[in-house]
Structure 1
Amino acid sequence: MLSELVYIDSIVDEKPDSAAVLLSQIPFEHKKADKESEALYHLLQIKIALLLGDELISDSIINPVIEYYEHTNDNHKLAYAYLCKAKNCFFSGTDSISMLYILKAIDKIKSIDKPVLSIEIYNHLGMIYLFQNLPKNSLQAFRKVYGKTDMVSRKYYYKPLLLRNIGRVYNLKTILNKAKDTLSRDTSLLYYREALTFIADNTPRDLTSSLYREISTIYVFKKDYPKALEYLELSKDSMELLRYYGRKADIFLDLGELDSANYYCEKCLTGQNIYSKCSIYNRLYNIERTKKNYWKALKYADTLFVLNDSMNAHIIPGEIMNIQKKYSEEKHKAEKAILQVKYEKEKSHSLLVSFVVVILLFFCTCIYIYSYLKKKKLQQSLLQQKNELLLLNQKIQQWNQQVELSQSKIQQLEQEKEQIESDLYVIANEKESALKRKEEELAGYRKQKSEMSTQKSQYEELYLIELKKLFLSLPLSRKIPVYGTDNAVVEKLNTHSQEQLMNIMDEICYNFASRLHLLLQESTEKTCLCCLIKLQVKPKYIMALCDLGKEAYYKQCQRIAEKLIGKSSISGLKEYLDSF
């Protein structure tokens, strides 16, 4: 198994698809495999996923690989595992942990020559800076590895990818400057178009679609809607139709073409995401309101209310909502019953008063007209009326009992409401404790950041030592006896030696001499003097190499310090060059 895995590892960079097929055919069993085979098998899964554009790999695969290779000297494989771990943390929202692992990966690839891995690592570092609104840092990371894309076989993927990301950096600059920086937007468009020139048949479709879509967005900002629609049509992908329809609806809304915007909004309603639906219905509501079609606007408003209730259902526990609904219904029923009883009482009282008045009038009339013969009949009539009054009293008593039952139900519901409020208080306390835990985690992250700063200073000291070693390995070091290689200066720096010194400093110190040369108004002699100070060459040897007397040397240093830091301090000049 190990030999097969080694073979797959040898072809994975150039043929990731074939490597994926071969790896799937290996009957891997966790219990039977040794640690080296298991680590290499999982590492190949990580490599293939990175090269084929998969965003997430399970931590259960990554963590054992990191643990195994941290105890070996294989920096190449360990850097791959760190990169995948950084991507997982990035897509799960923990940017600080992602940054920690990507810096670990960069530390491991410094001593190896793996262009594909370097491109992947620095591209991810640039994306982290991009999401943190740090365009300058992001641009530096992307440009650092763009030159390596000519060295890899999949340049049809990496060239447009890095150019697109550089275009995003300039687009971000425009956004951060609140659309005042039109030059950055034009620069962004220039990089996007350059990326299109490297698109090939085997370039992933999602990368091509994103390029056309982002160019379309820039033309929308520039109010050039025909070109925006043209590039949006080129970005159309059957896998992302809803995103295409949504962008098209936005363009027509900007144009004021409400019917077309309405048409593409309705096409987006087939999506299942509740938040996207809410956004689409909100656009439809605004369209109909602008068109003064209030009946349809109310219809969309009702749908928005339903969607909001659905979203709230994800936030408020269903049991609490049912209790609140039941409480409201019972409360309304009780209030309705009380009003009904009051109405019936008033109605009965008015009927009773009217009835008694009529009977009295009738009774007096009967006495006056019919006298004694009708008296018995009148008594029977009064008896009947009395029975009716008794029935009415019984009904009133029944209604009173019903009111009492309703009041007891209201009290019960009030108690349930208090219980709900206490439960909500418990939930709030739990949320507060969770917040405290998050604050503790944040403190831990800050502590990690402090430790990383300490490590950085250590790395800088080690870097200076390695710088001296590298300089010693070059022929020019024999002409500078600061390290005890010769007893005296053999010859002064001529034009060729000066160019050689500046080229060496550019290679080992990230264009140190070229950048300094511009600041010193392209003075080669002053630039070489600063390079020798940066290398900690003793002043007496610098005077000999640069053909300067002691007084002339110190005056030259003071003039350079005045130019670079604004004051003629030689110690300040040394500190400035150390950090430049």
Structure 2
Amino acid sequence: MKTRCCCSKRYLLVFFSLLVSVGSILMSVFLSSCSSSVKSPLLLSADSLMEIYPDSALSILESISSPQKLPRADRALYALLLTQARHKNYIALEDDSLIKTAVEYYGDKKKSVRAAKAHYYWGATYREKGYTSFAVDEYLTAIRLMPVRDEFLAMIYDNLAECYEKDELFDIAIDAYREAYQILKGGSQQTYPLRGIARMCLLQNKKDSALLYYHQALDCALAEQDSSLIGALYHDLAMAYNEKKDYMQADKYVSKAIMVQGQDAVNVCLSKAQIMLNLNKLDSASYFFKKNIDQLDIYGRAVCYDGMYQIAKKRGEWKTATENIDAYNVLYDSIQFMTDNEELNRLMDKHQLEEHKRLLSEHTKTLIFSLVTAFFLLMVVCVFYFMWNDRKRKNHYIALQHELTQKRVDTMLLKEEEVSESNKEDLNKKRSELTERQIQLCISVLRTTDCYDQLEALERATHKQLLVMRSLRKEIRSEISSAFVDVMMNLKERYPALTGDDIFYCVLSLLCCSKTVIMELMDATSDALKTRKNRIKNKIDAQIFDRVFGIDI
């Protein structure tokens, strides 16, 4: 009857799990209809199942047949989720090409959870490959990109601390563990950083501090009823008390660890044997050394044979002691060989890393040199272009001045002809042509100066800008008068009744200035300009008047 009841409960649990999974998938499908960036419902479903059911998420992701055909946003999320699912299912991350797709998409500038996760799992890939320094860089980038302080950020700090611990940077590692603890403080996960802090204190020979943090972690684990952590912390406390040479307390906690862990307490039994040896309880020590010797790795077996050698030596059993020390020496030689191979591999990996860094450095130097060279060449081209353009502008200005001088000479010759010749009609025609050409030359000369740009700025200026530019009025008038000096002198000679302002008004009209600009430069009102125009009309010929003010007509 009891068996049937247990089976029915198990079926209910399975049914409930399936119901939750189906509900999550339906919810993700609904959310996908509202998503503007990620369009695949399978990806959103896998994302929703990742934390609780990573194996289900992995199955969904592996069911996607052609991920390379997905849109770019979907492809990046697929790469991130597949790497995350493999990591959570303890599948080795041997290649970083997958996660690099997500890293390149999410970048390292803008803060977001997915960008932080991409860099974290890139760091996890490096860590599994043994590239601890690269892993640390990616973990630090992930911390910088994380927008919120949550359990994932605490996990990044925890893994970062383990990397520092591996490199024996205990002071930095304990700071990272403390950052993780500050995030998780008061929560169910705070036991892990507390245990890490305690371990760092023990490695720094701060035994009292280590015991304090171990007890705090144990209290949290007992409150949460986490049996795996409780057993591990009992073992940690036993080792801490053993380091402090408080063997009675060490025996107390190691016995509790064996009770909690049961058949899984292989390494705990080895610790128990060492504590019994320190208490000089040789029979108990011998029993625990022999108990699980076949289940231990090579390091554990070496410790067992060394312990049994010490027990046999204390008992005076020299033959047994010799056999044990011989077995220990064989294992020690194997360990030394393995250590040498690991050191060789580490040196080879370090060499590869240094070579990779050297290549990156050379590539960076080459890129910088290319950019500097290109910038220098561009600057040289710009300088030469500026010099060429400036020379061209000066030559054009000189040519205009020469032509303008020639027109002055032609005008003087024409005046002499006027005295001697009787055909005034031809003279007037020549004079009109010379005057027109002179006007065009003066306009061309003005265009080569900054004054022309200032006139254009006045044309586009608002009322407030006109008030600001009013200080330039005198300078602009002077530039225009200098450029049109020949035209103004000719007008004055032909029509002596014209005043200086009348002539300047004619020049502004020839330049096609707007009424607003003319009013601003002459500091006159609209009615005053109208009156002046009527006076000018009475002082000059109709043909010249039409040429000067023809734009108004």
TM-score, normalised to structure 1, is: 0.47
Greater radius of gyration (CA): 2
